[in-house]
A and B are shown apart, each in its own frame.
Chain A
Amino acid sequence: MKDAERQISRLIEVGRHAEADRLLASELAEHPTDPDLHWLAARAALGAEDDVRAREHLEQALASDPHHFRARFLAFAIAFDAERFAEAEEIVTGLIREHPADAELIAWYAHLMLRTLHVAKARALVDEALARDPDEPVARRVDVLLLTIEGRSEHAGRRLEELIRDDPEGLATARTLFLVLAERGRHREAFEVGRQLLRADPANPALIDALVELRAATHWSALPAYPMRRFGWLGVAAVWGVGVVGVRAAASWSPAWSVTFLVLYLAYVVYAWVHPPWLKRWLRRRGF
């Protein structure tokens, strides 16, 4: 990387997009078709949340050099974040065809497959990426997520420990930990990790939503709804079954008991229906 580009890259990394833009303007005036500069300009525009300008610069970078690796990878990242998965797949497969030994690219393809719930394909890809480079960080994170989804908790735990040991302060590691804990139903721990993540990125509304969900799940007032929360539709079916059996049993015992049971049961049903959204609204308003 050239000196000016390194400087611009640093400014982008620390969120100084206006300063980066100023330097870029002077560099682009001298080298208007330089694809590296257009790639940097696209990154600066993305940082400033100007997607239109980012796309324009990316197009210019690719017009100057259709094989520009970093511009194409950025295009993939944009498509991935915007959930334009078909476009992202097209770009990443194109890149892999040209760089078949690049473990990071394969890992990102695995990540894409995981996002689109193609678990088997994601597993095959991540194994391939780890075979090429066992230390590839993206592949290791995707591997942990896949192991968790596959229910191989022990393996997932071991790999996660390794990830944390190698990069204890990395945000990407913390995000992986957060997802794994939430997926395993360890809501309290996930909540604490999520709060740490929010402290680093307080403008992230998706994270706030996830924290509200987790806090609601661990709130004392949500305890009666635990079977349904823990076992999903199976829990709902069990509650329904208990209701039917309970009413019949109470009716055979005495009609008064049956009315009491029915009232309590209906109150529980109303609670299970009304309480979670109410609790979430209350938590969002009050904070935690």
Chain B
Amino acid sequence: MDSERIELERRLLSDPFDRDARVRYAQLLFDEAEWRASLDQWRILDRDRTSANAPLVMALCCRRLDLEDEARIHLAEARQRPDFDPDDPRLAELGAGVSHGLKVLAGGRLDEPREAAIVSISRSDRVRFSDVVGMRDLKKILKLRIVEPFARPGLFDRFKKRSGGGVLLYGPPGCGKTMIARAIATECDARFTAVGISEILDLWVGQSERNLASIFERARAEAPSVLFFDELDALAYSRSKASSDHTRTLVNEFLGQLDGFSGRNERVLVLAATNMPWDVDEAMKRPGRFDRQVFVPPPDEEARAEMFESRLRDVPHEALDPTRLAARCPNFSGADIDGVVEYAKESVLAEILEDGRERGVRQEDLIAGIEAAAPSTLEWLRTARNLVKYGGAAAGYKELARYLRAANLF
């Protein structure tokens, strides 16, 4: 084996374009479990992007290197090659015991964009508006502005109100934007496909744009459907701030897809979420694109009370008043409330270990947790306040301005 390797290395040194030698060398490295080195060789071999073999082996290498995201990308790439064989035994290997995305991919159709990139909502994952606690006003707005036009296009057509189009959900992190997007999809009774940045941004020049186009194509083919882009600011980063051409090209492609250059977007609702709406390219917010912007605020008092109840449901506790607790922690996100509950549990456990007397979580423990914590949403809200208070952007952020005034943060 060693002599073969030395011989192949010698051949490649003398002629780096000796494809046959490189294929054998890459396979040899793979057989010797040198995944990283083999991956590098296959990458070189795959520059011409003709055969499905190279990306398949690359996917295997990545899987062994625990690079699941990259493995999915390579596998998806392999499936787009003309010589891809759906019965390739290596696919079974890739599908067994790996992430959910890879399993789905292994049995997918050739023309189907990678399942890992487009995560469809399964029946069991369905979230309805009734599952989103509190936020009555927001749900009412969403129902009227998004769900009903989509679900009853005839009625809204008569009033010259269109369905589909783009909706941008923005707000501080950890306040349920993704959950609301899922609930919208369920209420619209449409296929929901969630897209994250790792599924779009690609190592290869031009591939990110192709990924985006294929996602839109599939959504159009499966209309009525809801496309959900998480972290839109990363995918449609403001071109005036971007220094690289790749970012600009991707935004241009995104704009083209939203405008339906390559196909009509009828009955395709495009949802997006972002924590930083000021980083999203301004052109994305123009009419016909993400022209409807909805502020998703931190959970309201009712939601926070419900969160306290649900977090402590199976935990030993004494008589609690979740409403009073909720009133004491304005602007806390779901994650902040988790932190409060964890703090309370830890202090109770420490006390039990110290004096040996078992007791449940008390209201005072949770109040101490609230006092020890600060809402993580405040920094975001202060930044957003600058936008409406000094930046003159109140017209575009009416709901945010209203919230800030009500919360005495203006």
Chain A interfacial positions (CB closer than 8 Å to B):
3-4, 6-7, 9-11, 13-16, 19, 26, 30, 169-171, 174, 195, 198-203, 208, 211-212, 287-288
**A13-B244, A170-B240, A199-B278 are known contacts. Are A19 and B386 too (CB-CB below 8 A)?**
no
Of the candidates A6, A11, A30, A202, the one whose C-beta lies within 8 Å of that of B386 is: A202
Chain B interfacial positions (CB closer than 8 Å to A):
36, 43, 65, 67, 197-198, 201-205, 231, 233-234, 237-244, 246-247, 276, 278-279, 383-384, 386-393, 410
Of the candidates A16, A169, A199, the one whose C-beta lies within 8 Å of that of B197 is: A16
Query: In the complex, A6 Cα to B249 Cα: how many Å?
Result: 15
- Cβ B387 vs Cβ A15 within 8 A: no
Q: Closest residue of chain B to A170, judged by CB? A: B240
- Cβ B234 vs Cβ A16 within 8 A: yes
- With a CB–CB cut-off of 8 A, which chain A residues contact B234? 11, 14-16
- With a CB–CB cut-off of 8 A, which chain A residues contact B242? 13
List 15 interface pairs A-B (beta carbons < 8 Å), by A numbering: A3-B203, A7-B202, A9-B244, A10-B246, A10-B247, A13-B244, A19-B197, A169-B240, A170-B240, A195-B391, A199-B387, A200-B240, A201-B278, A212-B390, A288-B392
Q: Closest residue of chain A to B388, judged by CB? A: A287
- Cβ B233 vs Cβ A14 within 8 A: yes
Residue of B242, B276, B278, B391 most packed against chain A (CB within 10 A): B391
Query: Chain B's nearest CB lies how many Å from the CB of A59?
Result: 25
Query: In the complex, A169 Cα to B283 Cα: how many Å?
Result: 11
- With a CB–CB cut-off of 8 A, which chain B residues contact A198? 386-387, 390-391
**A198-B387, A202-B387 are known contacts. Are A171 and B203 too (CB-CB below 8 A)?**
no
Q: Closest residue of chain B to A191, judged by CB? A: B392
- Cβ B247 vs Cβ A287 within 8 A: no
Query: In the complex, A6 Cα to B245 Cα: how many Å?
Result: 12
- Cβ A199 vs Cβ B198 within 8 A: no
Of the candidates B204, B205, B241, B246, the one whose C-beta lies within 8 Å of that of A171 is: B241
- Cβ B237 vs Cβ A13 within 8 A: yes
The 7 closest A-B pairs by CB, nearest first: A287-B389, A3-B203, A198-B391, A202-B386, A14-B234, A202-B387, A169-B240
- Cβ A3 vs Cβ B204 within 8 A: yes
Query: In the complex, A125 Cα to B386 Cα: how many Å?
Result: 38
- With a CB–CB cut-off of 8 A, which chain A residues contact B390? 195, 198, 208, 211-212, 287-288
- With a CB–CB cut-off of 8 A, which chain B residues contact A174? 240
